[in-house]
Amino acid sequence: MSLDAAVRGHAEQLAAERLSEASGRLNALDPDRRRAVEQLAYAVAAGVADCLLAEATRSPAVSAALSTIYNAAPGASQRRLAESSSHDDARRRGALRGARQGRREPQ
């Protein structure tokens, strides 16, 4: 699989996962608004993929990093990305809990 296809596919997968995680909240929206949110989520994911790939064309270091991530042993790149994503999600959840309690979690 090409780097382009791998990055774009991963971005789409992440958007789908985040939408799935938010499905309870999204169900509260009317169908048109829900579709708009879903379309926006996929558009943002595609935009991030576009930016990464554009930067990879300008920067050999970014290109090498992305190639390493997406050409690693089967499953290894997904684990690394999932681990970093899980860490970021945990930080966001902590910040959200803090906001609900009227305080901000340290970054």
Residue 18 token pair = 């985040």
Would you say 4 and 53 are in contact if contact means Cβ atoms under 8 Å apart?
yes
Lookup result for tokens 């929206």: 29
State residue 102 phi and psi, 5-degree precision.
85, 15
Indicate whether this model's pTM tops 0.75: no
Residue 56 token pair = 């990879």
For the beta carbon of residue 70, count every other beta carbon within 10 angstroms: 19
- Position 1 scores a pLDDT of 80
Residue 103 token pair = 């305080």
Lookup result for tokens 């009317």: 30
- Position 2 scores a pLDDT of 86
Amino acid at 88: D
Taking only the tens place, the pLDDT of each residue in 65-107 is: 999 999 843 334 344 444 544 555 555 455 545 544 454 444 3
Taking only the tens place, the pLDDT of each residue in 4-54 is: 999 999 999 999 999 999 999 999 999 999 999 999 999 999 999 999 999
- Position 100 scores a pLDDT of 45
